[in-house]
């Protein structure tokens, strides 16, 4: 099947940017605004804050400083865009400022109250909104070379894996969801939020729920003119029925490998401390998980794809085999 998409050589107008802003809200953002690219604040001190004092993820995720994109590269990318959708997802203080949550996240283990996974759901929601905004931008015929999420993608997408796939040399496990964070790319997110009148509470490891109103995770998707004015075609071809026998043989041959992978994932989940009690404790954040999975359905094209994608994020390898 051939899909034809018109690529616009013009910048998006106010109505088109409003469509993207409204989409961010419908996908789960609590606030969203349209910014000119000139209002995206870059400050080298933001990247250095990840390294001095060193964050536990510094150098442990391919998007985290000192790895990832330099400020010069980010400036070049942003210069090719005119506007951006800047959004926020609020997180209840009982989740993001829960007692000891920073230590639990650093350790790679799960707390019995379900706070780590509940916080992860909010981060995953931000990642999914970024990718869907980029998809919509391209479907409209405009460009979005890169989207920016919140936090590191290793904790959110590969929590049960001991190493980032890119650093390990095996490639990103979730390129369809992974994005660098705004802060890892040197964006002064707090100042940008303050300029919009958003209330943001800085949250550190010693915060308690009573000391902050809520947490705030922010994302940004730059939008610019397309690469040209011609139409482009994308070919999608179904696998021929003649290949059914070969695929069945390949599936049987890979069954032992899949079984071994499943056993390792179960061992990794058990090692992290996942219990039915944690699943029940996450119920107050069921709305966030539901919204994330609806977004996954839009990204993958089906509920079966969304379920498979969610399951893949729970795959892992034991840290101590």
pLDDT digits (tens, 9 = 90+) for 8-55: 678 899 999 999 999 999 999 999 999 999 999 999 999 999 899 888
pLDDT digits (tens, 9 = 90+) for 220-235: 999 999 864 444 444 3
> Cβ distance 134 to 149 under 8 Å?
no
At residue 237, the pLDDT reads 34
Is there a domain that residue 181 lies in?
A: yes
Using only C-alpha atoms, the chain has a radius of gyration, in whole angstroms, of 21
List the structure tokens of 167: 């650093």
By C-alpha distance, which of 11, 3, 80, 9 is closest to 230?
9
Is there a domain that residue 141 lies in?
A: yes
> Cβ distance 309 to 173 under 8 Å?
no
Q: Phi and psi (nearest 5°) for 64?
A: -90, 140
Cα(215)–Cα(121) distance, integer angstroms: 13
Is there a domain that residue 252 lies in?
A: yes
Is there a domain that residue 81 lies in?
A: yes
At residue 57, the pLDDT reads 92
pTM summary value: 0.90
pLDDT digits (tens, 9 = 90+) for 80-132: 999 999 999 999 999 999 988 888 888 888 998 999 999 999 999 999 999 99
Is there a domain that residue 155 lies in?
A: yes
Is there a domain that residue 206 lies in?
A: yes
At residue 21, the pLDDT reads 98
Residues 130-135, mean pLDDT to the nearest whole number: 98
The confidence band for 259, taking pLDDT boundaries of 50, 70 and 90, is confident
Q: What angle do CA 275, 204, 46 make, to 5 degrees?
A: 120
Cα(116)–Cα(156) distance, integer angstroms: 10
Q: Which domain holds residue 134?
A: 2-239+248-312
At residue 5, the pLDDT reads 59
Q: Is the pLDDT of residue 247 over 80?
A: no
What total number of domains does the chain contain? 1
Strands (E), the chain: 2-6, 31-36, 83-92, 214-223, 231-235
At residue 229, the pLDDT reads 44
At residue 250, the pLDDT reads 59
- The Cβ-side half-sphere exposure at 58, using a 13 Å CA radius, reads 13
Cα(317)–Cα(265) distance, integer angstroms: 6
Is there a domain that residue 318 lies in?
A: no
> Cβ distance 154 to 318 under 8 Å?
no
With pLDDT > 70 as the criterion, what percentage of the chain qualifies?
Answer: 89
The average confidence (pLDDT) of the chain is: 89
- The residue with tokens 């590269």 is 73
Residues 131-159, mean pLDDT to the nearest whole number: 96
At residue 239, the pLDDT reads 37
Q: What angle do CA 300, 302, 306 make, to 5 degrees?
A: 60
C-alpha distance from residue 297 to each of 7, 118, 316 (Å): 25, 20, 23
DSSP H or E segment with residue 121? helix 115-139
Cα(28)–Cα(7) distance, integer angstroms: 28
Helices 115-139 and 286-300, interaxial angle, to 10°? 30
The confidence band for 174, taking pLDDT boundaries of 50, 70 and 90, is very high
Is there a domain that residue 321 lies in?
A: no
Strands 83-92 and 214-223: antiparallel
C-alpha distance from residue 94 to each of 36, 165, 321 (Å): 34, 32, 34
């Amino acid at each position: 099947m051939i899909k034809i998409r018109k690529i616009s050589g013009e910048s998006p107008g106010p109505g088109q940017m409003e469509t993207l802003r409204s989409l961010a809200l419908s996908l789960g953002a609590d606030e969203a605004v349209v910014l000119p690219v000139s209002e995206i604040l870059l400050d080298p001190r933001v990247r250095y804050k990840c390294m001095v004092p060193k964050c536990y993820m510094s150098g442990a995720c391919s998007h985290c400083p000192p790895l990832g994109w330099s400020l010069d590269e980010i400036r070049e990318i942003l210069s090719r865009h005119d506007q951006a959708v800047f959004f926020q997802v609020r997180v209840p203080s009982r989740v993001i400022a829960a007692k000891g949550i920073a230590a639990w996240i650093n350790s790679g283990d799960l707390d019995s109250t379900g706070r780590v996974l509940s916080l992860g759901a909010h981060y995953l929601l931000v990642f999914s909104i970024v990718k869907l905004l980029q998809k919509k931008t391209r479907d409209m015929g405009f460009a979005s070379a890169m989207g920016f999420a919140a936090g590191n993608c290793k904790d959110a997408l590969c929590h049960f894996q001991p190493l980032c796939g890119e650093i390990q040399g095996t490639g990103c496990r979730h390129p369809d969801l992974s994005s660098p964070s705004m802060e890892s790319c040197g964006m002064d997110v707090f100042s940008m939020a303050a300029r919009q009148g958003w209330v943001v509470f800085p949250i550190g490891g010693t915060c308690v729920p009573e000391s902050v109103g809520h947490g705030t995770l922010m994302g940004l998707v730059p939008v610019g003119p397309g690469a040209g004015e011609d139409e482009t075609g994308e070919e999608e071809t179904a696998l021929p029925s003649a290949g059914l026998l070969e695929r069945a043989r390949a599936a049987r041959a890979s069954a032992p490998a899949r079984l071994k992978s499943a056993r390792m994932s179960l061992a990794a989940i058990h090692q992290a401390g996942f219990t039915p009690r944690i699943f029940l404790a996450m119920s107050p954040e069921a709305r966030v998980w539901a919204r994330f999975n609806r977004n996954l359905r839009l990204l993958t094209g089906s509920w079966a794809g969304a379920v498979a994608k969610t399951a893949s994020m729970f795959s892992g390898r034991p840290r101590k085999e």
